Amino acid sequence: MAANGIASIGECMLELSGQAGPNWRMGFAGDTFNTLWTLHALSPDRPATYVSAFGDDPFSRDQIAFFAANGIGIGNSPVIAGARPGIYAITLTGAERAFTYWRRDAAARQLASDPPGLAKSLENQELIYFSGITLAILDAAACKTLLSAVAAARKTGSLVAFDPNYRPRLWPSREAAQVAILEALAVTDIALPTFPDEQMLFGDETPQGTARRLGKLAGEVVVKNGEQPALIAVSGDAQSIEAVHVARPVDTTGAGDSFNGGYLAARLAGHAPAEAARLAHRVAAAVVQVRGALAPFETLKSAFDN
């Protein structure tokens, strides 16, 4: 079978957003799912798989049904009796967001509990994507299982993309995060870091410093930096790509994730890295003009195609 699928590995949570007095809207989101959502919107002919672990409660069933209704499968991800999804709530000050989480016993922490099933989910994938949050929710043994599965898929031809996405509260220590993230970068083809994260985690002084450091580990590096230009470094050659300015953003949730999805979709479509970054900036700019982490497919397609 030809390898033309896209798979993303991690945790999709229940998202509570759109606060208006006592009223909240519930949806489904999480960094790696947000990226897959964008990828799938922009690459609809490629089978899309979200690799995780799920509970057997009504919310988990609704989550899986939501994926299916939007053309996204779960591969051989385990469904675990008695488990349930994590939850987070978004509170906004203007367009800037803050998050409150309830996720310590989330089913996704068991996503590597069935190694043969995990390996099966990663078969025949042209692209595999995961993040530092994926690593942070796993214990050391599960991380090793995951990275072994990713490395095996890479050996059979899958392209691997990784966003370190450092969230200090999820890690027992900064040193533990450094070790795990460096191990992930060792099996990565495209690294998609965010400069403030790398500055906090590794002490990088500039985006150029991040690009040079990660360029020793991955052949293609895209350093995101909010509204500042993205820095693209391929085999040591660096280029700065201006962001798209949005005068009045509505909600910045998922902007970096959608940039990743836009960039990877463009690369899969054959665009050069610099053009892929330009398209990704346009996608991210569209996303910050809607509420919640998941923009409608039509919004994403319009930003990418026009």
Q: What is the pLDDT of residues 195-226, one digit of tens each?
A: 999 999 999 999 999 999 999 999 999 999 99
Residues 149 and 135: their CA atoms lie apart, in Å, by 13
The first and second tokens of residue 111, run together, are 């996503």
What are the percentages of helix, strand and coil residues in the chain, rounded to 5? 40, 25, 35
Residue 1: which pLDDT band, with cuts at 50, 70 and 90? very low
Residues 40 and 57: their CA atoms lie apart, in Å, by 26
Using DSSP's 3-state secondary structure scheme, residue 5 falls into strand
Residue 23: which pLDDT band, with cuts at 50, 70 and 90? confident
Check residue 138 and give its pLDDT: 97
Residue 96: which pLDDT band, with cuts at 50, 70 and 90? low
HSE of 247, CA atoms in CB hemisphere, 13 A: 0
Residues 177 and 184: their CA atoms lie apart, in Å, by 11
265 pLDDT higher than 90: yes
297-305 vs 273-287: helix crossing angle, rounded to 10: 140
CB 131 within 8 A of CB 163: yes
Q: What is the DSSP string of 277-295?
A: HHHHHHHHHHHTTSSSS--
In terms of DSSP H, where are the helices of 187-254?
Answer: 195-202, 207-215
Residue 280: which pLDDT band, with cuts at 50, 70 and 90? very high
Residues 6+ apart with CB under 8 A from 218: 162, 185, 188, 189, 190, 191
* Alpha-carbon distances, residue 51 vs 12, 153, 209, 226, 298 (angstroms): 10, 14, 33, 28, 24
Work out the angle at residue 129's Cα, subtended by the Cα atoms of residues 119 and 227, and round it to the nearest 5 degrees: 170
User: Annotated active-site positions, please?
Assistant: 257
Burial 279-302 (b: 16+ CB within 10 A, else e): bbbbbbbbbbbbbbbbbebebbbe
Check residue 112 and give its pLDDT: 98
Using DSSP's 3-state secondary structure scheme, residue 155 falls into helix
Average pLDDT over residues 156-174: 97
CB 14 within 8 A of CB 85: yes
Work out the angle at residue 95's Cα, subtended by the Cα atoms of residues 90 and 101, and round it to the nearest 5 degrees: 15
Check residue 230 and give its pLDDT: 97
Q: What is the pLDDT of residues 225-235, one digit of tens each?
A: 999 999 999 98
CB 31 within 8 A of CB 257: yes
H or E element in which residue 50 lies: strand 48-51
Structural domains of the chain ordered from first start: 30-85+105-305 (3.40.1190.20)
85 pLDDT higher than 60: yes
Quote the pTM value. 0.95
For residue 68, the tally of other CB atoms under 10 A from its CB is 11
21 pLDDT higher than 80: no
Residue 304: which pLDDT band, with cuts at 50, 70 and 90? very high
